[in-house]
Structure 1
Amino acid sequence: MVCGMVFGGCFLGCAPPRSSRVTIGAKNFTEQVVLGELLAQEIEAVTGQRVERRFYLAGSYICQQALVSGRIDGYVEYSGTALTAILKQPLPPVGQRDEAQVFQTVRRLYWQRYGVKVGRGLGFEDTFAMVIRGDDARRLGVRTISDAVAHAPDWRLGVGYEFEQRPDGLRGLEATYGLRFKDAPRTMDLGLLYRALQNEQVDMVAGNSTDGPIRALGFVALEDDKHYFPPYEAVPLVRADSLQRHPGIQVAMDRLAGRVSAEEVQGMNDAVDGQHRDVGDVVREFRKGKGL
């Protein structure tokens, strides 16, 4: 007997035994845990069944492996990350990185290659953001990444591990803007970037636009005035066979589509990171406020 299923022309081999419960994953930073908890709670509300959580998976590649192998049923990804880091598609030319076009490409290729459905966006983008201290921004009059070019030779840069290697990451950014920094970038865990910036161990970090510490610590995210970064719309990815076995997942995704703003997710991030609140409580409060 041949083992496997065909979705959209893509053959999926045998996966390990699957839990009877829905399993939702998340990467290893606060916003991902918030979004994983949001999706998990909404599925629980729809189905009345407990959802397993596999959070703090190392990054995009590990989440992708877990999704394709069936260790998780779904997680929330960002469209630009999916396009470049997972699907290995070339970036559209700078200035032509249309959100709808990126979404359609990502949706088509995930279905064809992996039998994975890309759901409608949650309502916000979390793009990469080049972040500096607020005092430096005001003192130097730096508002955009182009403004920072003249000062970068005196600055130390901090980045996460993925950003240094990704096709939509550091090397392309440096080439697009002509950025040159004082030293080789300091590479560290994402959770340490803002601490290093606050403690003046670095002068700029590659963070995310919805990170809670940006607002909480008075940092400034510089405008990407040359539109280097592609769209990073937050979208749920779910296995097609999981949707067949658990149709409530689709109902939950539909209920969440377009319901989360960038400001709201930044507020939840800050509540978890800055105020040290329980992520489950933060998400329940958000859902209650939305009438979910």
Structure 2
Amino acid sequence: MQAFRVRGSGFIAGVIWGTLSLLLGCAPPRSSRITIGAKNFTEQVVLGELVAQEIEAVSAEEGRPQRVERRFYLAGSYLCHQALISGRIDGYVEYTGTALSAVLKQPLDRDATRVLANVRTMYEQRYHVRAEAPLGFEDTFAMVIRDSDAKRLGVRTISDVARLTPAPGQPWRLGVGYEFQSRPDGLAGLIQRYHLVFDKRQRVMDLGLLYRALASNQVDIVAGNSTDGAIRSLGFSVLKDDLHYFPPYEAVPLFREDSLRTHPEIQTALDRMAGKVSAGEMQAMNDAVDGQHRDVEEVVRAYRRQKGF
């Protein structure tokens, strides 16, 4: 996920980014300790904490215990990227589709293998940054409906939405976030790809309100993110993107090559986690923090114990 939850427009966005860049330039450089960054939403903070705790565990096992510095709640991909290439942080977790389109400014590509290969090559050539092995899950856009409707109508895929309606003569009532409405991989292309018909009174709202609207029967289907904790806690179903419209958004740690040389324990930690984090596990951790209001450090600690990291 990723850039999904950061939105803005034109002049205001430019002012915000300019201000943040200035603040970043004035921020103190990272210490001699390993420094992990994260964007400003729950999943990113959970992933940053997961990477940090695993590095700390490896360093303790190797007889060189150290505390990893956290620089979380950085405002989106732009600021995390600037912090990474300027050496303010050693690494953070990004999503391959976001890295390709938002950071590297490349055209959309829906081939996951090719996207990862291009991201790895370009980050190494341009920034001397290594894109590590994916953690094992994607945080992609997802079309979400109430589980009761999914069972009642037999809806499992987005193609099913094109064939079926919630009631005779009643089109699906859609809820979307502001960004999804305008992204190149967003609503317009989705409608065209699947030949979807929605109620003309589409509701565009803040992402935090989408699931409330779905739960209260104000809408029938929303464009959320596949690992949102509310999907689990509120009993919703994610529809399969059977025509593969959405680009791949694999969670991939990005780390400076000089940091990996200086701190080999980072690579050991990343190798341990490679391919081990499932979308369901990520969704459960997001829900534990957002829905159950549990402490991020404890949620990650419990997860690591469960996984045997």
* TM-score bracket for this pair, using the shorter chain length: 0.7 to 0.9
Distance in 2 (alpha carbons) for counterparts of 1:101 and 1:216 = 34
In the TM superposition, what is the alpha-carbon distance from 1:202 to its structure 2 partner?
Answer: 3.7
**Residue 183 of structure 2 corresponds to residue 183 of structure 1:** no
- Unaligned stretches of 5+ residues in structure 1: 1-13
Higher relative helix content = 2
**Residue 57 of structure 2 corresponds to residue 40 of structure 1:** no
Q: Secondary structure at 1:149's aligned position in 2? A: helix
| Aligned partner letter, 1:19 | R
In the TM superposition, what is the alpha-carbon distance from 1:158 to its structure 2 partner?
Answer: 2.0
**Residue 99 of structure 2 corresponds to residue 99 of structure 1:** no
Distance in 2 (alpha carbons) for counterparts of 1:110 and 1:162 = 26
The alignment covers a number of residue pairs equal to 273
Cα contact 1:16–1:69 (8 A) shared by 2? no
Distance in 1 (alpha carbons) for counterparts of 2:146 and 2:210 = 12
What RMSD over aligned residues (CA atoms) do the two structures have, in Å? Answer: 2.4
Distance in 2 (alpha carbons) for counterparts of 1:162 and 1:111 = 30
Equivalent position to 1:264, from 278, 281, 288: 281
**Residue 305 of structure 2 corresponds to residue 288 of structure 1:** yes
Give CA deviations for 1:80-115 in whole Å, capped at 9, x if unaligned: 2222222222223xxxx3322221111111111222
Counterpart for residue 19 of structure 2: none
**Residue 68 of structure 2 corresponds to residue 51 of structure 1:** yes
When the two structures are superposed, what TM-score results if normalisation uses the length of structure 1?
0.83
- Unaligned stretches of 5+ residues in structure 2: 1-24, 60-64
| Aligned partner letter, 2:140 | T
In the TM superposition, what is the alpha-carbon distance from 1:117 to its structure 2 partner?
Answer: 0.8
Cα contact 1:40–1:51 (8 A) shared by 2? yes
| Aligned partner letter, 1:53 | R
Distance in 1 (alpha carbons) for counterparts of 2:303 and 2:74 = 24
Mean Cα deviation higher: 27-36 or 163-172:
163-172
Runs of 4+ more than 4 Å apart? 14-17, 150-154
Distance in 2 (alpha carbons) for counterparts of 1:186 and 1:233 = 27
Cα contact 1:128–1:229 (8 A) shared by 2? yes
Counterpart for residue 243 of structure 2: 226
Equivalent position to 2:176, from 143, 158, 166: 158
When the two structures are superposed, what TM-score results if normalisation uses the length of structure 2?
0.79
Counterpart for residue 26 of structure 1: 38
Distance in 1 (alpha carbons) for counterparts of 2:34 and 2:88 = 10
Distance in 2 (alpha carbons) for counterparts of 1:16 and 1:134 = 47
In the TM superposition, what is the alpha-carbon distance from 1:116 to its structure 2 partner?
Answer: 1.3
